[in-house]
Chains A and B, each alone.
Chain A
Amino acid sequence: MAIDVPVLSRWQQSDLWWSFQQRPSAVFAVVLLAVVILTSILAPWITPQNPYDLAALNLMNSELPPIWLDGGEYPYVLGTDVQGRDLYSAILYGSRTSLFIGALSVLLALSVGLTLGLIAGYYGGWVDNAIMRLGDVLLSMPFILIAILISAVAVQMLPSHLRESLTSLILVVAIAVPSWVQYARTVRASAMVEKGKEYVQAARLIRVKSWRILLHHILPNTLTPIMVAATLNFGLAILSEATLSFLGVGMPSDQPSLGTLIRIGNQYLFSGLWWVVLFPSIQLCLIVLSVNMIGDWLRDALNPKLR
């Protein structure tokens, strides 16, 4: 494609690409995350079983160990749990849920945080005070407590037929609500610096509307620190979802996320079914590790003082 070529060459000349090549851990993390994301998207085509489909489960196949141990059976490569659910399939489907909830909650928190932070930083005064004090209140309570509160209340209030289909969205909101504050603070600080710069005054002089100044002038210049925060928070959001699910206020056991799988596995840990808790935990570790490694690389690569 004719348009793609200059974009590609521009990217290959950029500092970001250069620092990426210099950093094996970043390359490793990107490859790892790409594999995780791809396999979880392709899960229905590369797994032997749909773990959500109770009819596909067979109790005869329950509690099978991984295939390299005595009693392991093909196609249950990583073994099965007490209901005869294939762990490999459950992990891929679970990663799908975890990644989806993580990404969506980061997007939600990001859009709320960006909007409120820009408004607070640009307009200042009582608007700024109101928004940031609300943020302070949220930050003064433990993250997980707010999330539990929201998901518990929401689940209680919703009628049962809606509850199941909306559980993942409730989790998204529960994780996003306490985490928008960080974005808002970062953006507010940058917006306060940028709004005093002369290019913003030049725009005001030609009567550019406030929302256009915010969107076209200030926002692009505040995005660098936000990209780093969003990446690191993506890992955190996945962990939060896992924590909530582990505590039993997250995804139910018939649509398991990684956290749910770990919770279920935890119950059988002492009956010798160690693989049910170990493999989902490894997957969770790999996802969060790769996301954090990408975040660390972005933070260093985008920091002008370290270039």
Chain B
Amino acid sequence: MSQLPLLEANALQRQYDVSAPWLNRVLERRPRQFLNAVAGVDFQLEKGQTLALVGESGCGKSTIAKLATGLQKPTGGEIVYRGDWNRVQMIFQDPFASLNPRWRVSSIISEPLRTLKPGLSRPDVARRVGELLETVGLSVADGSKYPHEFSGGQRQRISIARALAGEPEFLVCDEPTSALDVSVQAQILNLMKRLQFEFGLTYLFISHDLSVVRHMADTIAVMYLGKIVEIAPKQDLFDNPMHPYTRMLLDTIPDLQNPVRDRAAMTGEIPSPIDPPTGCSFHPRCPLASEHCLKETPVRSQEKFAGRVACFAV
């Protein structure tokens, strides 16, 4: 490695206090309750690369996104970002909630310019907004419209233009395509790939859709209940999934060439992160679970497959 990674998470933790109000706790003699959304996560992200976080809903992906942007502070461990915090931007999941409905598109896109570069003159801002609109495949005239006049895909383009206006070096994308039609998803993903190439962006890409991740990622981290259970370069992970959970996830992707008619459906629910299972939190759903998995929590270690997987059974 020639240089240090741009982003590094070391034993990252984020807890939420989900206790009942004080009076209820006292009267009903209930203890405080905490939700461990992120329970000790390590990863590294090189400049210009894409790290994808995949997992079911509630596994802590979005929390990591907020921690990585600095919108929230970790309650344990640390996020090391070796860049300019002002050049971290985010693309959000819901294209209907991520744009202020009462602002014109031009104001939305120019807000980062006006805030981060107060010296810019009005004509310069307007020109830059026009450029950005064209970069993301919209027209300059769209700037005078309101968000509700656009489709989901177009709104996501506006979101991307706003993120680009902050001249980011690092973009956190929290399920940027999950609210879009499949045909539009591809357009947005290709746009993001093109922008990464053009501007040398680093992506932290969060998704639950493995086919999307396959298209975008260099490295994939599979998350389960606030922990990374397996992390590997894309090709390795798809060719040779190791963790039983990764295998379960990959089995859910339909294969057009060799359809598996009697494919095992994914069973069980993701357990509550307030009261996680003992030992390995995946053991209630794991086909390979043994006594050992109930008692001890597996960790990724350099001795075993170079820290790729956290499982006793492989």
Partners in one complex: yes
CB-CB under 8 A from B97, the residues of chain A are 197-199
Chain A nearest CB: distance from B212 CB in Å? 19
Complex: how many Å from CA A284 to CA B111?
48
Residues of B contacting A201 with CB < 8 Å?
66, 71, 90, 92
CB-CB contacts below 8 Å: A285-299 with B: none
Which residues in window 90-111 of A have CB below 8 A to B?
Answer: none
- B69→A206 contact, CB < 8 A: no
B162 at the interface (CB under 8 A from A): yes
Measured between alpha carbons, how far is A46 from B69 in the docked complex, in Å?
66
| A220 on interface, CB distance cutoff 8 Å | yes
Q: Mark B32-76, 1 if CB is under 8 A from A, else 0.
A: 000000000000000000000000000000000010011100000
Number of interface residues of A (CB under 8 A): 14
Query: Which A-chain residue is minimally distant from B163 (CB atoms)?
Result: A202
Chain B proximity of A195: nearest CB distance (Å): 12
Q: Is the CB of A205 within 8 A of B71?
A: yes
Looking at A197, A201, A206, A221, the one whose CB has the most chain B CB atoms below 10 A away is A206
CB neighbors of B among A218-233 (8 A)? 220-221
* Residues from 78 to 116 in B contacting A, C-beta threshold 8 Å: 86, 88-90, 92-94, 97-102, 108, 111-112, 115-116
Asked whether B90 lies within 8 Å of A202 as measured between CB atoms, the reply is yes
Judge if B166 is at the interface, Cβ distance under 8 Å: yes
Inter-subunit contact A207/B111 (CB<8 Å): no
Nearest-neighbour CB distance to chain A for B120, whole angstroms, equals: 14
Report yes or no: A205 in contact with B69, Cβ–Cβ below 8 A. yes
Give the number of A-B contacts (CB < 8 Å).
48
> Are A207 and B92 CB-contacts (below 8 A) given A201-B71, A217-B100?
no
Inter-chain contacts of B166 with A (CB < 8 A):
205-206
Given contacts A217-B100, A221-B101, contact A202 B115 (CB under 8 A): no
Q: Which of A176-221 contact B (CB under 8 A)?
A: 197-199, 201-208, 217, 220-221
Minimal Cβ-Cβ distance residue in A for B172 = A205
- B232 vs chain A, min Cβ distance (A): 30
Enumerate chain B residues within 8 angstroms of A197, measured Cβ to Cβ.
Answer: 97-98
Expressed in whole angstroms, the minimum distance between the Cβ of B234 and any Cβ of chain A is 28
Tell me the bound Cα distance from A197 to B90 in angstroms.
13
- Which B residues are CB-close (under 8 A) to A207? 86, 115-116
* A214, B70: Cα distance in complex, Å: 20
Complexed CA–CA distance, A246 and B215 (Å): 76
Tell me the chain A residues, 122-168 only, with Cβ under 8 Å from chain B. none
Q: Which B residues lie within 8 Å of A202 (CB)?
A: 90, 92, 98, 159, 162
Measured between alpha carbons, how far is A207 from B85 in the docked complex, in Å? 10
Using CB atoms, name the residue of chain A closest to B88: A205
Contacts of B98 in A (CB 8 A): 197-199, 202
Bound-state CA distance A198–B93 (Å) is 9
A208 and B111 within 8 A (CB): yes
The residue on B at minimum CB distance from A212 is: B115
Name the A residues within 8 Å of B71 (CB-CB): 201, 204-205
Closest Cβ neighbor of B100 among chain A residues = A199
Compute how far the CA of A206 lies from the CA of B108 in the bound complex, rounded to whole angstroms.
12
Q: Bound state CA distance, A202 and B166, in angstroms?
A: 11
B93 surroundings in chain A (CB, below 8 A): 198
Q: Which of B89, B94, B108 lies in contact with A205, CB distance below 8 A?
A: B89
Q: State the CA gap A19–B112 with chains docked (Å).
A: 37
Chain B residues near A208: list those with CB within 8 A.
Answer: 111, 115
Chain A's closest residue to B90 (CB) is A205
A231 to B26, CA, bound (A): 43
Count chain B CB atoms within 10 A of each CB in A197, A205, A207 and give the residue with the most. A205
Assembly CA distance A129 to B46 (angstroms): 45
CA distance A221 to B69 in the complex (A): 25
By the criterion CB–CB under 8 Å, are A203 and B92 in contact?
A: no
Q: Give the contacting residue for A221; candidates B66, B70, B88, B100; CB below 8 A.
A: B100
- Could you tell me the distance between the alpha carbons of A217 and B100 in the complex, rounded to whole angstroms? 7
B193 CB to closest chain A CB (Å) equals 22
| C-alpha spacing A199/B166, complex, angstroms | 15
User: For the complex, what is the distance from the CA of A258 to the CA of B115, rounded to whole Å?
Assistant: 51
A202 to B162, CA, bound (A): 9
Residues on A with beta carbons closer than 8 Å to the beta carbon of B102: 220-221
The distance in angstroms between the C-alpha atoms of A151 and B287, with both chains bound, is 76
Shortest Cβ distance from A129 into chain B, in angstroms? 11
Give min CB distance, B72 to chain A, whole Å.
10
Give complex CA distance A99, B86 in Å: 51
- The smallest beta-carbon distance between B154 and chain A, in angstroms, is 16
Question: Considering only CB atoms, which chain B residue lies closest to A217 in the complex?
Answer: B100
* Sampled A-B contacts (23; CB under 8 Å): A198-B92, A198-B94, A198-B97, A198-B98, A199-B97, A199-B99, A199-B100, A201-B90, A201-B92, A202-B162, A203-B111, A204-B71, A205-B69, A205-B88, A205-B90, A205-B166, A206-B112, A206-B115, A206-B116, A207-B116, A208-B111, A221-B100, A221-B101
Taking A199-B98, A220-B102 as known contacts, 12 extra A-B pairs with beta carbons closer than 8 A to each other, sorted by chain A number, are A198-B93, A201-B71, A201-B92, A202-B92, A202-B162, A203-B111, A205-B69, A206-B111, A206-B166, A220-B100, A221-B101, A221-B102
4 closest cross-chain pairs (CB), A and B: A198-B98, A198-B92, A206-B112, A220-B102
